[in-house]
Amino acid sequence: MTGSLISLRGVGRSFGATQALADVDLDLHAGVIGLLGPNGAGKTTLLRLLATALPPSRGKVRVLGRDVEVLAERTEIRRRLGYLPQEVGFPRGFTAFAFVDYIALLKEWADPAARHAEVRRVLDQVGLSDAATKRIRAMSGGQRRRVALAQALLGSPPVLILDEPTTGVDPEQRVTLRTVLAELARTSIVVLSTHQTEDVAALCERVVVLDRGRVRYDGAVTDLVDRAAGRVWLADQPDPAATVSWRTGTGRYRNVAAEARDDVEHVEPSLEDAYLLLRGDRSGTGIVTR
Amino acid sequence: MTGWHLDDETLRRYVERIDSVAEGASVEQHVVTCERCRARVNTAAVAVDLAVVDLDAVWDRTRDAVEIPRPSVFERLLSAVGLPAHEARLVAVASAFRGVWLIGVAAVIAFAALAAKIGDTDEVWFFLAVAPAAPCLLVAVSYDRRWDPALEPEVVTPYPALRLVLLRTTAVLALALPAVLLLGLVVPGQTPFVWLLPALGFVAVVLAASTWISPPNAAATVSVAWLLAVWLVKRAHSPTVVLEARIQVAFLVLAAASFCIFVVRAHHLSQLRPRR
């Protein structure tokens, strides 16, 4: 496919004998793309490849038409990239302002007035303007996560790579962050990984599901949800035929099955149902694409 | 209300916003209660085309005063010797410049120097063994993941890793070499100076090795190798053997060769850039 902002061709990444990613082909366009998958599926490895934090063992990764393997092109990518890693450590004694200011320096914001204004803008954006002078070590987990996100937003980059951006963030802030990301997605490509299917459902048009280093689904969120139509129902007991069942807050059991059923009380499937169905479905031949 | 009013010069400085914070606060406190001076301020503001106060600018200045971290002593020192302010910040952030590291390394060197002063030849050898290792250990911790926890976001910034490493290394050397030299002055004979070239050579080896392995591992390997070499040599020679021209030239060659390897392989730099 042409015109993609990010493209991967036959990309693989190994760590010693462990293959974290294998034969990944993707073309990603502007908008918010969600990455779903269990722990160890390769989500973080894929995001680190896209963020130029890690080189691929095999294949070709291009971001904004530039090759991540070529030093000069990699630097150009980094000028247009915001990256939130899964785990961010903070230098001892730093305030939120000082940390984001430090990353801004590394992002070539040399002019103090412009840099400070930008630092304030991103701290405002993540709702931390009142905590700018607070030491990061004294912050809650959610606040620290927002500080880390703020540094990724510096310069409103056209490519935003976010590894679990809403982890530890309270529901109100999650809604705020979704609004921020949706706004950014008007002009940027946002690739985010998460375990929160509701974040993907709320934000993303497209979802990529990874499992054991391979792409198991790549397509529209609505298409994935549609695959679960007629396969989700409520019952008083867990159904043995269901792939997964769990007790809901009403005391009834939500059953999700690979086979459609007619004789049951169907409910509207969610993305989580569809994801669980996909994860539980081992009969398929592999990748399901649009 | 007193009979005191703003004089023309104070008024002008206030309206043109070139007064001090204390002076401005004093003026503001006065004009709150003095209608006459308030009117004069308004008139003067119109005269200098400042009728509308730029509240955003005032607020930004206030936030600047509160939010922008004050530069550390070391950062101010770097700026004073000509490093641009933003690069001085990038250098001073390194873990190696935190007090605990500096005090720890200084204590070890001081102990070694004191032992050499009051002891016999064995203690001089001890000083020789410790002094060159200290700068290369400091360099190693100045850009390593374990002591630089914000590394992952740093890795993907466009700032050149090579420049950052060289700036931090130079700063470490500028700090460590005179300090070790000063502490070593208590050591008898020429011993205080013989470690300089070995130290430079080891720092260069650590930089070069950092393109394959982590900097602390490189520094640890170099230090252990040096300690072993000192232990082997001391059995048959006096400390002055290190002063021989051929030995000093060998360390110079080691430094130059290692630095060349580092520059050529800089894009493979471990930790500050992706592992290959």
First to last CA, chain B: 75
* pLDDT tens digits, A186-221: 888 999 998 888 889 888 989 999 999 999 999 999
Residue A267 lies in a domain: yes
Residue with tokens 């850009």: B143
**Residue B274 has what pLDDT?**
36
Task: Return left, alpha or beta for A180; rule: phi > 0 is left, psi -120 to 50 is alpha, else beta.
Answer: alpha
**Residue A21 has what pLDDT?**
94
Distances (CA, A) of A59 to A9, A19, A49, A67: 6, 14, 11, 11
Contact with chain B for residue A108, Cβ under 8 A: yes
Residue with tokens 């000063």: B182
Statement: residue A87 has pLDDT above 90? no
Quick check: A107 and B84 CB within 8 A? no
Report the DSSP pairing between strands A189-193 and A31-36: parallel
Statement: residue B229 has pLDDT above 50? yes
Six-digit token string for A148: 């880390």
3-class SS at A139?
coil
Which 8-state DSSP code applies to residue A135?
B
ipTM over 0.90: no
Choose the weakest-confidence range: A97-101, B82-86, B95-99, B145-149.
Answer: B145-149
Q: How confident is the model at residue A283 (pLDDT cuts 50, 70, 90)?
A: very low
The length of chain B, given as a count of residues:
276
- Residue among B68, B93, B158 whose CB faces A75 most closely: B158
Chain B residues with CB-CB distance to A75 below 8 A: 158, 160
Quick check: B158 and A78 CB within 8 A? yes
**Residue B273 has what pLDDT?**
42
Quick check: A106 and B66 CB within 8 A? no
Residue with tokens 């609505």: A222
CA–CA min distance A168, chain B (Å) = 19
Mean pLDDT of B99-111: 65
Q: What is the mean pLDDT of chain A?
A: 88
Quick check: B156 and A83 CB within 8 A? yes
Contact with chain A for residue B148, Cβ under 8 A: yes
Quick check: B67 and A148 CB within 8 A? no
- Do the Cβ atoms of B200 and B250 come closer than 8 Å? no
Integer Cα distance of B158 and A78 in angstroms: 5
Integer Cα distance of B48 and B44 in angstroms: 6
Q: Where are the domains of chain B?
A: 8-67, 76-268
- A101 to chain B: nearest residue by CA? B68
Quick check: B276 and A78 CB within 8 A? no
Of residues B95 and B85, more confidence is placed in: B85
Cα angle A167-A168-A171, degrees, rounded to a multiple of 5: 95
Q: DSSP labels for B8-63?
A: HHHHHHHHTT-S-HHHHHHHHHHHHH-HHHHHHHHHHHHHTT--S--HHHHHHHHH
**Residue A61 has what pLDDT?**
96
Which amino acid is it at B180?
V
Residue A268 lies in a domain: yes
Chain B residues with CB-CB distance to A110 below 8 A: 84, 86
Question: Which of A106, A119, A128, A159 to substitute to test the interface with B, most B CBs within 10 Å?
Answer: A106
pTM, two decimal places: 0.76
- Into how many domains does chain A fold? 1
66-125 in chain B: CB under 8 A from chain A: 66-69, 84-86, 89-90, 93, 95, 98
Residue A162 lies in a domain: no
Domain assignment of residue A232, given as a range: 227-282
Statement: residue A287 has pLDDT above 60? no
User: Which residues partner with A83 through β-bridges?
Assistant: A161
Integer Cα distance of B40 and A98 in angstroms: 41
Mean pLDDT of B6-12: 87
- Residue among A102, A107, A133 whose CB faces B66 most closely: A133
CA–CA min distance B12, chain A (Å) = 26
Cα angle A133-A136-A137, degrees, rounded to a multiple of 5: 130
41-70 in chain A: CB under 8 A from chain B: 51-55
- Do the Cβ atoms of A237 and A253 come closer than 8 Å? yes
Q: How confident is the model at residue B104 (pLDDT cuts 50, 70, 90)?
A: low
Residue A197 lies in a domain: no
Quick check: A90 and B90 CB within 8 A? no
Statement: residue A236 has pLDDT above 80? yes
- A157 to chain B: nearest residue by CA? B157
* pLDDT tens digits, B25-69: 888 888 878 888 888 888 887 776 655 566 667 777 788 888 888
Which among A17, A88, A86, A91 is positioned nearest to A57, based on CA atoms?
A17
Six-digit token string for B106: 């200084």
* pLDDT tens digits, A123-182: 999 989 889 999 998 998 889 999 999 999 999 999 999 999 888 888 888 888 888 888
137-176 in chain A: CB under 8 A from chain B: 148, 151-152
Residue with tokens 């606040």: A143
Of residues A232 and B214, more confidence is placed in: A232
Choose the weakest-confidence range: A65-69, B35-39, B56-60, B127-131.
Answer: B56-60
